[in-house]
Amino acid sequence: MAAGTSICVTGSKGFIGKNLCQVLSSISQLCVCPLDHDSSSEVIAEALSGARVIIHLAGINRPTDPKGFQANAELMRTICAVLQEARAKPLVVFASSTQAALDNPYGDSKRAAEELLKEWVDQSGGSAVVLRLPNVFGKWARPEYNSAVATFCYNIARGLPIRIDDPSRSLDLLYIDDLVQRLTEICLKPDIIRGFSFQEAAPSYNTTVGFLAETIRAFPDLRSTLTLPDFGDPLVKALYSTYLSYLPTDRFAYQLVRREDPRGALAEFLRTKEAGQIFVSRTRPGITRGNHFHHSKVEKFLVLEGTALIRFRHVATSETASYTVDGKDFKVVDIPPGYTHSIENQGKSDLVTLFWANEPFDPARPDTIPCEVINDEA
């Protein structure tokens, strides 16, 4: 095998395996050996016996016959037999299930696999970690197979109906990137683990089917409202990333509402309740925008293309200031409250500017008071 810590991943073509192998393969000190159902027995035996860490993800979770679950214990029995014969003592990390604590065919098979792994540790002096995983969700999960989240995201992204039998049904969820991070940490420091142990694959989220459906159903409308989800909630943040991963490739792009007048064009880009509003404008040569002030609202101007003169005048003291900014400089200009301000295109082509305000525009309380910056009476 190539130099570096060798990591053997079973079930590498599955949902978790694909995500994990993508990350592990990018780490130079790790040498990843992916295994799947189409790997030959010779390749499997060589990879297992030569690995420093084995991440065992392969398993059966949706057989046509409940007896098919027995394959989960048999897979573990095969792994332990190969290691015993080779007298190899890698760290084995087993992706079990929270179902192992329950009395059902799937849980029984996972629990039997855990017991076989412990027997190997006791007999060989090797090391093993069991992660009892809840429902794992994220990009690349199969709709109608891996998780309800995958099914909801896939269908809602395509305008298809979703089925909900019990909205109050409780679910424990684990985001794929959090799981991959935990597995990667283990692979990078395998020597700190000794013996047999159960470990948490945190953080996990307890929620309901109804909350999932309501949250994901709201995502398509965010393009028209331009409102971002509540990224302060880590579950919502992960669900939104997952939803976008299921968009059809011909639906990545969407059009903003463009408002145009003789001065140029303006379009709102994003808004949030907590972090305000972002919009972009094109201003024609010689045109001035603004000439107003705010009592509480604050803004930031970033010229992206062209040259602009930004003027200020304090509405109480008449103190003035001005800044010439060029799109090549990426210079941000803060707009404090109490200063009437304007931005003038001093170039020969359109001025493109990105604006941020700390609160979305509210017609009922605009906090935008017209006031010329150049006071002819001063």
Q: What does the pLDDT look like over 181-231, one tens digit per residue?
A: 999 999 999 999 999 999 988 789 999 999 999 999 999 999 999 999 999
In a domain? residue 330 = yes
Contact criterion met (CB below 8 Å) for 360 and 271: yes
**pLDDT tens readout for residues 13-62:** 999 999 999 999 999 999 999 999 889 999 999 999 999 999 999 998 88
pLDDT band at 376 (very low <50, low <70, confident <90, very high): low
Three-state secondary structure of 74-95: HHHHHHHHHHHHHCCCCEEEEE
Contact criterion met (CB below 8 Å) for 97 and 63: no
DSSP 68: G
pLDDT at site 244: 98
- Co-location of 62 and 189 in the same domain: yes
Count of residues making up the chain: 378
- Co-location of 56 and 179 in the same domain: yes
Handedness of CA 187, 190, 194, 200 (dihedral sign): negative
pLDDT band at 63 (very low <50, low <70, confident <90, very high): confident
- Co-location of 181 and 63 in the same domain: yes
CA triple 263-269-273, angle to 5 deg = 120
In a domain? residue 227 = no
**pLDDT tens readout for residues 298-318:** 999 999 999 999 999 999 999
Q: How far is CA 292 from the centre of its chain?
A: 39
pLDDT band at 3 (very low <50, low <70, confident <90, very high): low
**pLDDT tens readout for residues 331-356:** 999 999 999 999 999 999 999 999 99
In a domain? residue 271 = yes
Average pLDDT value over all residues in the chain = 95
In a domain? residue 142 = no
- Co-location of 198 and 270 in the same domain: no
pLDDT at site 88: 96
Q: How far is CA 177 from the centre of its chain?
A: 7
Which CATH number is 267's domain given?
A: 2.60.120.10
Residue 165 has pLDDT above 80, yes or no: yes
pLDDT at site 134: 96
DSSP 367: -
In a domain? residue 272 = yes
Count the domains in the chain.
2
> Which amino acid belongs to residue 352?
V
Q: What is the biggest distance separating any 2 CA atoms in the chain, rounded to whole angstroms?
A: 96
Q: Give the containing element (helix H, strand E) for 172.
A: strand 170-175
In a domain? residue 251 = no
- Co-location of 272 and 197 in the same domain: no
- Co-location of 178 and 58 in the same domain: yes
Q: Which residue has the tokens 């989220």?
A: 205
pLDDT at site 146: 75
pLDDT band at 378 (very low <50, low <70, confident <90, very high): very low
- Co-location of 181 and 269 in the same domain: no
pLDDT at site 76: 96
In a domain? residue 231 = no
In a domain? residue 20 = yes
- Co-location of 180 and 298 in the same domain: no
Please name which of 105, 101, 95 lies closest in space to residue 133, comparing C-alpha atoms.
95
pLDDT at site 66: 85
Active site residues: 106
pLDDT band at 2 (very low <50, low <70, confident <90, very high): very low
- Co-location of 102 and 185 in the same domain: yes
The residue range of the domain holding 54 is: 5-136+173-205
Q: Which residue has the tokens 């006031």?
A: 371
- Co-location of 185 and 298 in the same domain: no
Which CATH number is 92's domain given?
A: 3.40.50.720
- Co-location of 195 and 266 in the same domain: no
pLDDT at site 202: 79
Residues 6+ apart with CB under 8 A from 208: 167, 168, 169, 170, 171
Residue 20 dihedral angles phi and psi, to the nearest 5° = -65, -45
- Co-location of 263 and 189 in the same domain: no
Q: Which residue has the tokens 């409780």?
A: 170
The CA distance from 76 to 80, in Å, is 6
